[in-house]
Amino acid sequence: MPPKVVRRTLDLAGVGVPLIEITGSSDGPQLTVLAGVHGCEYASMAGVRTWARALESRELHGRVRAVPVLNMSAFRARTPFVVPEDGKNLNRCFPGNPSGTLAERLAHATFTKLIAGMDAVIDVHCGDMVEALEPFTLYETGPAEDRARALAMAYGLGYVLRQEPGPDRAVGGTTSSAAAQIGVPAITAEAGGCGLVEQAAVDLHVRGLDRVLATLGMTEAADGATAADGGAGGDGGPTAEDLSRFIWLRCADEGWWEPAVGAGAKVAKGQVLGSVTSIDGASTQEVISAPADGVLLFLTSSPAVAADGLLLGLGAS
Ligand SMILES: [Zn+2]
């Protein structure tokens, strides 16, 4: 029997957020899938839209709650990274604050209504408007770590990054870190970037979400979501390279950023990754080199960088 589908607008801290609720004909896990925590990450939104439509005609156990765009005001305004009303990065605000600014209140409402109490949470991202990105999945240590890791592996991207809370952590306050702290298995899955809807990245997300459903026992494995397709490692299912450090590099002063390598490049410690020059082109302000061996998981594709501007993220083992 096909699942029951309800499309409605959910009120989260006064923000009307599109929600697709897909309830299977038999009991099973409760899964939340979020996209658009960042307002210009279109490949991940497209993946969730496509995947949710396809799910309507499939046999499902349990319930899926899918949000194709969470940060609606950023989506409308085409504002990358932040919630335009308060300038805060929503994905640094979890688990949120019910009496804070809009981003903090939106995080709190999302955490309360769509993350707490779930059996799994998948937060789908890509590089934002000015970020090129190599596909990877991130999960956090915590009481649900083993289940989170299983979801990250199932998603089937080339790199899996394990983050531990502490001073070395590149990003805190994310959906998946807040979920990890309350024992909800969660991952952040990244594929696509640069404000584009690249079909290859959309396909990675659709395939990854299908594999998550199969891993949770909510569907039979879909056609193609087996070890036979791309990125898979034989009969044992997908394989990925494990990374345990996420190193973000920034420039000192504003200027013109010119990367010397692309997203996905494997680099050696000391290798030059790019430079920041003066805007008039006359002088080199800074040469950026790799602090460790690793793979470039994302880099800023725009030449315009501010003081203390983010240039790239390096994944290291
Ligand atoms: Zn994002």
Domains of the chain, by residue range, sit at: 4-243, 245-316
Q: State in Å: Cα 129 to ligand 1 middle.
A: 10
Which pLDDT value is given to residue 234?
44
pLDDT over threshold 60, residue 284: yes
- How far is CA 182 from each of CA 31, 48, 127, 178, 241, rounded to the nearest angstrom? 15, 25, 27, 7, 27
Q: State in Å: Cα 248 to ligand 1 middle.
A: 15
Let me know: does 292 contact 245? Beta carbons within 8 Å.
Answer: yes
Q: State in Å: Cα 44 to ligand 1 middle.
A: 9
| Residues composing the chain | 317
% of the chain with per-residue pLDDT over 70: 95
Secondary structure (DSSP) of 53-66: HHHTTS--EEEEEE
By C-alpha distance, which of 103, 155, 165 is closest to 124? 155
The CATH code that applies to domain 4-243 is 3.40.630.10
Is domain 245-316 in CATH 3.30.70.100, yes or no?
Answer: no
Q: pLDDT band at 221, cuts 50/70/90?
A: low
CA 33/CA 49 separation, integer angstroms: 11
Q: pLDDT band at 209, cuts 50/70/90?
A: very high
Q: State in Å: Cα 81 to ligand 1 middle.
A: 7
Q: pLDDT band at 230, cuts 50/70/90?
A: very low
* Mean pLDDT of the chain, nearest integer: 94
Q: State in Å: Cα 125 to ligand 1 middle.
A: 4
Which pLDDT value is given to residue 227?
39
Q: pLDDT band at 168, cuts 50/70/90?
A: confident
Q: State in Å: Cα 189 to ligand 1 middle.
A: 9
Q: State in Å: Cα 216 to ligand 1 middle.
A: 24
Which pLDDT value is given to residue 206?
98
Q: State in Å: Cα 175 to ligand 1 middle.
A: 11
- How far is CA 284 from each of CA 263, 273, 305, rounded to the nearest angstrom? 23, 14, 14
Q: State in Å: Cα 154 to ligand 1 middle.
A: 20
